[in-house]
Structures are given as structure tokens and as C-alpha cells.
Amino acid sequence: MGLSYAEENYLKAILKLSGSPDGTVSTNAIAAQLDTSAASVTDMLKKLSDKELITYQRYKGASLTDDGQRIATTLVRKHRLWEVFLVQSLGMTWDEVHEIAEELEHIQSDRLIDRLDHFLGHPKFDPHGDPIPNAQGKYTLRAQIPLSELKPGQEGIVIGVREDETSFLKHLNEKGLTLGKSIKVITNDDYDNTLSLQVEGHELNLSGKVARNIMIKTT
């Protein structure tokens, strides 16, 4: 089935927002995610519903059908494999690959993506620590909690980020908070979640907003 980039991006947005396969997502949430108007979201949802990729109920929102779910998961798989390729094989940094992968994910070739997966050694996580669905659409899950939820004295390792925007990742580069770094929480402000941390020998402060988007495996 030939889909436009826009149609594919809607399926991906619904998958991202739904959290679970049968979760329903509101029109407003999709509009906010894709930075567009509720009216254009409604038009697109009708189109995707006609193609039986989503179930759309007025006033309630949209959920993915099995076909929609499969296509959206494949897009995520392609996106994350391309990100691994760009970092691992082309030597790019984790803050410069997301936008390029947003384009590469739309290339339609199952053979290409299978070869890419094989070439990369079947990676399970992308450069941001996000799990890569396998060819059957299954993710590798692991225990992780947001840095903002750690208590003073707790220690862990940075294993992922929830945000892959360039500006956010550059900010982490400046702070020296990249994947694999060991951290220890010194203080965590009850009111606004401002944290002071020890990161491999040096101390730094972090806002609650940033800390919420950093995923930790506690040690």
C-alpha cells in the first residue's frame, strides 16, 4: 500500500501517543504532536480510517488497527536502525541523526531494511537508548526510571533519553551527560525537581524538566 509521508507520520504519531496498541488518542493531542490544526487532523483521520489503518470515532479520537500498528512499528524500526547506521557506520553524533532518520524511514524496501539490520548486527537499541522493534514488531524492554524520580544517594547509569531533538541532546553533551555515564543524586528538590548530581567525579545541577527526559538504570 503506497502511503504519503504525511500519512505515515500520522500513524507514527498515534503510535507514540497511544502508549499501548489499542489506546485511543485525541485529535488535539495529535494536532499538538504534529504542530498542526485540529481541522487538518480530522481530515487526515478520516482518510486513514477509509484505508482501515485506524479506527476513528468523532469526539473520542483515533486508535491504530492491526495494519496501522504494523506499519507504524515498521517506521519506528526503520527510523531507529538508520540512526544506528548514521552513528555507528558514518560516525555522526547522537544529536545530529534524528532529522535525517525522519527522512530515511520513509524508504520503502523490506530488503534494504533487513540487510541494514543484518549489517549492523541486529542492534536492540538506538543511539538514544530507545528499543528497536525486531522484524516481528517486538521490542526489548528493560527496567529504567526517569532521573527526576531518583532520591538523594541513589546511583545509576544513563541508558536512554526520551527526547531526541538536537537542542536537548546538545545540552546533555555540554553537561557531559551521555549514554553510559554513571551518576549519583546528591539532592532532589521536592518542589521543582531541580537536581544536583555527581557525574563521574564532577558535580552539576539539572532542571526537573531535563531530568524527566533522562532514563536511568539504577545500580
Residue (7 or 164) nearer to Zn ion, CB: 164
Residue (50 or 103) nearer to Zn ion, CB: 103
SS3 (DSSP) at 192: coil
Q: Are 161 and 213 in contact (CB under 8 A)?
A: yes
Shortest reach from residue 61's CB to Zn ion, in Å? 25
- Residue in the block written with cell 486508535: 63
Residue (98 or 181) nearer to Zn ion, CB: 98
Which grid coordinates are listed for 46? 478520516
Q: Are 63 and 17 in contact (CB under 8 A)?
A: no
Nearest residue to Zn ion by CB is: 98
Q: Are 73 and 48 in contact (CB under 8 A)?
A: no
Among 27, 21, 36, 15, which residue's Cα sits nearest to residue 58?
A: 27
Shortest reach from residue 63's CB to Zn ion, in Å? 23
Query: Cα(189)–Cα(200) distance, rounded to whole angstroms?
Result: 21
Residue (47 or 168) nearer to Zn ion, CB: 168
Helix H or strand E segment including 206: strand 202-206
Shortest reach from residue 126's CB to Zn ion, in Å? 7
Binding stretches for Zn ion (CB under 5 A): 98, 164
Shortest reach from residue 83's CB to Zn ion, in Å? 5
Residue (42 or 88) nearer to Zn ion, CB: 88
Shortest reach from residue 57's CB to Zn ion, in Å? 30
